[in-house]
Structure 1
């Protein structure tokens, strides 16, 4: 399989979920073979080695510069198979929240996917891997096919609910960031959810 970029530039703007600040980003086609974030002249690879925060968002950083809340955009790029482009921050430092989901990213990018002449690399899970914290666990298991199963509870409505994702974008693009009203003050006291 080949890597892919986009056929033309696409821009998004809006308020950042946590910073509450206006942000404007432009996604540029690129044949470099990876996703990178460009802010104030610094290129930050979208790679786990550059993750600097996972407290209610996934933030990437390098040399003191940080791009915040990249997870919805990165999920849509993965779903569409886009693995080569540059996300440039023209204003702000946080990916715009849009409607709290990845839908607007998906809608704008789905018809622009363009293959480039580079082979895609794959991660092969050869033995079970488990990562835990005090409230959650992620297990990665060997399999011939890609699938994701989420088991979780939503307070007051769902208990031990199972959701399977087998690659259909419509099953996931509307997933939204949310919290309960009693959690808002605690989030704001941590400097978060200013744009929520």
Structure 2
């Protein structure tokens, strides 16, 4: 499917849910970074050295990427997401940015509402150690301030309010959301053939301190027996033990012995 086709599919899927969500003022100003900060590393799938520069942005601009020879602006919004294997990819105006999930997670958790993200030497966000921790540390290095619009005014931060339960399922994965006065997440994963992962559950009310302590350091993992197949498909060219957890499968063999009569 072409990127345009993928965008249309995402938009159609989101339409029924848009009626279940409204945005309400929080009484707090939108925030941005005090100054520029950058991190360099290897792209997970391209294997190329790349740099992401995080810069302050004006109130109301939101979070967006600047990438490609055209330096096109790609908003970090769900309607710019396209179908891609083993990473989140955003497209817009002929440009694309891959593997954005850890960086965007850190920006949201740390309260960075507006940010210009420039990608240099490629179209992929550097993986760092395979977690969001390095991005949290980069944000904390420069700190936050109230963002101003072009008129020098602050703008109110908006928060989503869910009015009815929502549910999405794809293959054996699903996500469900329910109306609540506080943000609480419950996450489960089950890989019975991979002892290093196994069956795990995590549940907690969510704030910046919980994110930093319990979530930000969670790293990308892969199955050792699948590495060659993925690399032959042009994926994880930059993957290594330094930026991912590599786990082996446990294969149980049952041997039935039959006596000949």
- TM-score (norm. length: structure 1): 0.94
User: Within the alignment, does 1:173 sit opposite 2:216 as a pair?
Assistant: yes
Partner of 1:114: 145
> CA 1:130–1:37 in 2, change beyond 3 Å: closer, same or farther?
same
Pick from 144, 149, 166 the counterpart of residue 129 of structure 1. 166
What per-residue deviation string (whole Å, max 9, x for no partner) do you get for residues 116-165 of structure 1?
21111111111111110112000011111001110112422454421024
Pick from 165, 186, 193 the counterpart of residue 149 of structure 1. 186
- Structural RMSD (CA): 1.4
Q: Is the 8 A contact 1:32 1:85 kept in 2?
A: no
Q: Distance in 2 between matches of 1:160 and 1:143?
A: 27
Partner of 2:32: 5
* Helix, strand or coil at the partner of 2:107: helix
Alpha-carbon distance, 1:186 to partner: 2.3
User: Within the alignment, does 1:21 sit opposite 2:60 as a pair?
Assistant: no
User: Within the alignment, does 1:42 sit opposite 2:72 as a pair?
Assistant: yes
Return 115-124 or 77-86, whichever deviates more: 115-124
What per-residue deviation string (whole Å, max 9, x for no partner) do you get for residues 26-68 of structure 1?
1110114200101132000000011013421001011321101
Q: Distance in 1 between matches of 2:41 and 2:223?
A: 23
Return 69-78 or 59-68, whichever deviates more: 59-68
> CA 1:186–1:103 in 2, change beyond 3 Å: closer, same or farther?
same
Higher percent of residues as helix: 2
Runs of 5+ consecutive residues of structure 2 not aligned to the other structure: 1-27, 148-153, 240-261
Q: Distance in 2 between matches of 1:128 and 1:186?
A: 39
> CA 1:139–1:9 in 2, change beyond 3 Å: closer, same or farther?
same
Pick 1 or 2: higher relative contact order, CA cutoff 8 A, min separation 6: 1
Q: Distance in 1 between matches of 2:198 and 2:48?
A: 35
Runs of 5+ consecutive residues of structure 1 not aligned to the other structure: none
Q: How many residues align?
A: 196
* Helix, strand or coil at the partner of 1:28: strand
> CA 1:54–1:126 in 2, change beyond 3 Å: closer, same or farther?
farther
Partner of 1:77: 107
Return 3-12 or 54-63, whichever deviates more: 54-63
What per-residue deviation string (whole Å, max 9, x for no partner) do you get for residues 78-121 of structure 1?
11010101001122110001001111111111251212211111
